[in-house]
Amino acid sequence: MSTAAPLLDVAGLVVRYGVVTAVRGVDFQVCESEIVSIVGPNGAGKSSLISAIAGIVPPAAGTIAFAGQVLAGIVLEDVVARGLALVPEGRHIFASHTVFENLMLGATVRSDTDGVHADIARLFESFPILRERARQPAGQLSGGEQQQLAIARALLSRPRLLMLDEPSLGLAPAIIEQVYALLRSVREQGVTILLVEQNAERVFGISDRVHVMSGGKFGLSGRAAEIKNDLRFDAAYFGVHMQGAAGNR
């Protein structure tokens, strides 16, 4: 970690749905131009954590600071204007809208129309399939193409931090490779990335740091290369009670 102030600083975060506590006190930071991943099994609280950071669910306790400013109390639609963009689980593209309209919706918070069109033209260079299908309803795209669209849409808000919730979910291995190659090039353009994945093996190659989450808490945190070879990984991933069980590696 660098000594500069972190871009995202989460402290003591708790998320509750009624009587169910999904996130039980999580602290972590993401620094400028890092890729940080949170891995864990289904139900570990990963989505709840990222939803709280994105402003979708209000935290029950703890603070979220972005670029030095606390995000408490701001409404959902203001989060993206601060520079945080979310690619949610399941992509949530607007199926009946055209691909182009989906991209325009990604630029909702921007008022520089010329800049938006220039950005779309540039994105079309990196995503030729989106240019080909620009006038078609987005619902007609394949799963991988929809994931590309969801990422392109998020990038159009010109975020400082791009958050992705299970971007590989439901995609074929070859397509997942494409999505990850895309994330690398996004980071090269200076965008910081916070990635949530169930499949831990995927994220080791791309991440700087990895947090292993289970039962609403981080069980293990460190540099990707260290976590990959850490014997405590399985215990952290599956929770201490299943220590020694076969790993999802």
Q: Which is nearer to other proteins, 94 or 180 (CB)?
A: 94
Selected binder of other proteins within 133, 153, 160, 202 (CB under 8 A): 153
Q: Which stretch binds other proteins (CB under 8 A): 62-70, 94-102, 121-129, 236-244?
A: 94-102
DSSP secondary structure letters along the chain: --SSPPSEEEEEEEEEETTEEEEEEEEEEE-TT-EEEEE--TTSSHHHHHHHHTTSS--SEEEEEETTEE-TT--HHHHGGGTEEEE-TT----TTSBHHHHHHHHTTT---HHHHHHHHHHHHHH-HHHHHTTTSBGGGS-HHHHHHHHHHHHHTT--SEEEEESTTTT--HHHHHHHHHHHHHHHHTT-EEEEEES-HHHHHTT-SEEEEEETTEEEEEEEHHHHHT-TTHHHHHH-GGGTTSPP--
The answer to whether 96 contacts other proteins (rule: CB under 8 A) is: yes
Selected binder of other proteins within 94, 134, 158, 187 (CB under 8 A): 94
Selected binder of other proteins within 1, 69, 92, 225 (CB under 8 A): 92
Write out the binding residues for other proteins, residues 29-88 only, by CB under 8 A.
51, 54-56, 76-81, 86, 88
Q: Which residues bind other proteins (CB under 8 A)?
A: 51, 54-56, 76-81, 86, 88-90, 92, 94-97, 101, 104-106, 108-109, 139, 153, 157
